[in-house]
Amino acid sequence: MTTHADVVADTLRRAGIRYVFGYPGGQNVRFIEALHGSGVQFVLVTHEASAGFMADVYGRLTGRPGVCLSTLGPGATNMTTGVGNAWLDRVPLLAFTGRMGQKWQGRTVQMQVDHQALYRPITKWSTTLTAGAVQETIARAIDIAIAEQPGPVHLDFPEDLAEEPSEESLGRPGAVLSGRARGATVDESALAHIERLIRTARYPLVAVGLSMNRAGVAATSALRRFLVANRLPVVSTMMAKGQVDDPSVDFVGVLGRARRDLVADFCQPADLVIAVGYDPVEFNYEEWVRADLPIVHIDTVRADLDDRHVLAAQLVGDLGAATERLAEISGVTHGWDLSALAAHRRRLYRALTPDWPSFSPHHVIEVLRRSLPDDGLITVDVGAHTHLIAQLWETRGPANLLVSNGWSSMGFAIPAAIGAKLVEPERPVVACTGDGGLLMMAGEISTAVRLRLPVVFLVFRDRFLSLIKVKQDRRQFHRDGVELFGPDLRFGDSLFGAPVRTVGDPRAMEEALRQALVADGPTVVDATVDPAEYDVVL
């Protein structure tokens, strides 16, 4: 007998999906049983938010929707934090929630809330699977999830439907991925107008954003050709950094992060902003572009800009096609002093690496960079350490740094690293997290132990929610609610069986990383740092 749950499992497999990350309730057991042996592996996590984060990373790295699963009510609410990440970081994802049988709809029932109302604000579509339309609904959900801008779709899966026999035949043609929905044409008149604007500007500045991460390697290289041929200075958001922080490119720095004032100083003369794949969800135009400074917006969706700002032109559509055409523009003359750019980069580096006597966050970042191979991938949590990593870390490639920045959720890095290691087992993967982020997601270290995943969990252990402490200190407020634990707290030698290596200086950290990067299971590198430098580097 083929159940509706079998049909779901088969449809996911045929869409090329290999994992469902989740935390079950009684309502999901038939679905999990259907996944058994189906080619789609169920990965148990320790909190549903992690299931969403892992599915998000699966979506980022593969371009196919990541899939997560929870039970109803509290499982569904827990999972929203991870699903929201895919919503604001623009990642294709399918979120399945179990539900009571159809006869209980609208009744007062233990654990039951309105899942559609819960998921509507953080998904592109929220619906319920129904008999006879399972393959069609999932195929549509996948198309919606991957269409620009990508995002999550929520699918409620009633318990009785999962159990019932289905009339749908497995592997029915036409019910699988129909491919990424992308237009490949370029609006010629907008492009010609943009080229005129670039050629007449005296100080054209390029800004790159996270949509470029979805445009593929050919688009990255076309963008770089355009930048190199014309020697145009470029800024980026944190998520897009890997697109352009390359020695071949005139990279100024990351917007809105550590020592943003120095980046802004260099950009001061700009008289045109050419924004490529710039998604304001990471950092609004209004936060850094003067109202009189014209903006050219090239993205998959229209610009979100207030009326005081000048949108000089916009080119909306496929970024692969747009960047290819930009790469044809050469011989742009401008007034930027590129020797001043080299001096600016040195000044920025010095400002981010103050001569500090104690073991400090920037030392941790430098040791990690020296220790991690070029193809290494880091996932980054949210906190003071994030600001410093954003500006200081050399990414050495577009898909080497994963962070939650549209959603900006603490707790991302640990599950994200687990998801990344499952998708790309050959690459070294390091999760960089504050101690606050660690405490939120510590349970997932047991997931890495169970799956025997050699992930390095690098903790910036500074005892505080430093980003919030810095904000309190600057306003001379009390340091209430930001101290996580006292100086004497010890992590112990292992966490759920993963060795913990506590380090307090660069040499010890280098040695700990050397061992962790060749280990056959997870390691926690517990870097005890002095957060004092955050007062000057942020």
Ligand X SMILES: Cc1ncc(C[n+]2csc(CCOP(=O)(O)OP(=O)(O)O)c2C)c(N)n1
Q: Contact residues for ligand X (CB under 6 A)?
A: 381-385, 408-411, 434-437, 460, 462, 464-468
How many Å apart are CA 215 and CA 161, to the nearest integer? 38
Q: Which is nearer to ligand X, 168 or 462 (CB)?
A: 462
Specify the 3-state DSSP secondary structure of 503: strand
Q: Which is nearer to ligand X, 278 or 464 (CB)?
A: 464
Q: Which is nearer to ligand X, 247 or 481 (CB)?
A: 481
Q: Which is nearer to ligand X, 92 or 436 (CB)?
A: 436
Minimum CB distance to ligand X, residue 458 (Å): 12
Q: Which is nearer to ligand X, 182 or 471 (CB)?
A: 471
Angstrom distances, CA of residue 379 to CA of 239, 401, 419, 421? 11, 6, 10, 11
Minimum CB distance to ligand X, residue 407 (Å): 9
In sequence order, the 6+-apart residues with CB closer than 8 A to the CB of 173 are none
Q: Which is nearer to ligand X, 98 or 434 (CB)?
A: 434
Whose CA is closest to 97, among 132, 126, 121, 64? Answer: 126
Q: Edge-to-edge, what's the strand order for the sheet holding 377-380?
A: 401-403, 377-380, 429-434, 456-461, 523-528, 498-503, 494-495
How many Å apart are CA 241 and CA 207, to the nearest integer? 10
Yes or no: say if 271 and 289 are a contact pair by the CB < 8 Å rule: no
Angstrom distances, CA of residue 463 to CA of 255, 466, 482, 528, 538? 27, 8, 9, 9, 18
Q: Which is nearer to ligand X, 30 or 362 (CB)?
A: 362
Minimum CB distance to ligand X, residue 409 (Å): 5
Yes or no: say if 145 and 153 are a contact pair by the CB < 8 Å rule: yes
Q: Which is nearer to ligand X, 91 or 467 (CB)?
A: 467
Q: Which is nearer to ligand X, 269 or 485 (CB)?
A: 485
How many Å apart are CA 47 and CA 444, to the nearest integer? 8
Amino acid at 418: I
Yes or no: say if 147 and 89 are a contact pair by the CB < 8 Å rule: no
Whose CA is closest to 56, among 65, 69, 43, 45? Answer: 65
Specify the 3-state DSSP secondary structure of 316: strand
Minimum CB distance to ligand X, residue 226 (Å): 35
How many Å apart are CA 451 and CA 533, to the nearest integer? 37
Q: Which is nearer to ligand X, 6 or 381 (CB)?
A: 381
Q: Which is nearer to ligand X, 399 or 455 (CB)?
A: 455
Minimum CB distance to ligand X, residue 277 (Å): 24
Minimum CB distance to ligand X, residue 492 (Å): 19
Minimum CB distance to ligand X, residue 168 (Å): 40
Q: Which is nearer to ligand X, 382 or 503 (CB)?
A: 382
Q: Which is nearer to ligand X, 46 or 220 (CB)?
A: 46
Sign of CA dihedral 516, 374, 219, 299: positive
Minimum CB distance to ligand X, residue 386 (Å): 7
Tell me if the bond preceding 41 is cis, omega within 30° of 0: no
In sequence order, the 6+-apart residues with CB closer than 8 A to the CB of 379 are 57, 401, 402, 403, 412, 413, 414, 416, 417, 420, 429, 430, 431, 432
User: Secondary structure of the chain: what % helix, strand, coil (to 5)?
Assistant: 40, 20, 40
Compute CA 250 distance to the chain's CA centroid, rounded to the nearest angstrom. 25
Minimum CB distance to ligand X, residue 29 (Å): 30
Q: Which is nearer to ligand X, 102 or 408 (CB)?
A: 408
Yes or no: say if 538 and 258 are a contact pair by the CB < 8 Å rule: yes
In sequence order, the 6+-apart residues with CB closer than 8 A to the CB of 250 are 227, 231, 232, 233, 234, 336, 338, 341
369, with CB counted inside 10 A (0-12, 13-18, 19+), is middle
Minimum CB distance to ligand X, residue 96 (Å): 23
Minimum CB distance to ligand X, residue 437 (Å): 4
Q: How many CB atoms lie within 10 A of CB 425?
A: 10
Position with the least CB separation from ligand X: 434
Minimum CB distance to ligand X, residue 485 (Å): 11
Q: Please state the φ and ψ torsions of residue 16, each to the nearest 5 degrees.
A: 85, 15
How many Å apart are CA 434 and CA 205, to the nearest integer? 34
Minimum CB distance to ligand X, residue 329 (Å): 39
Minimum CB distance to ligand X, residue 445 (Å): 15
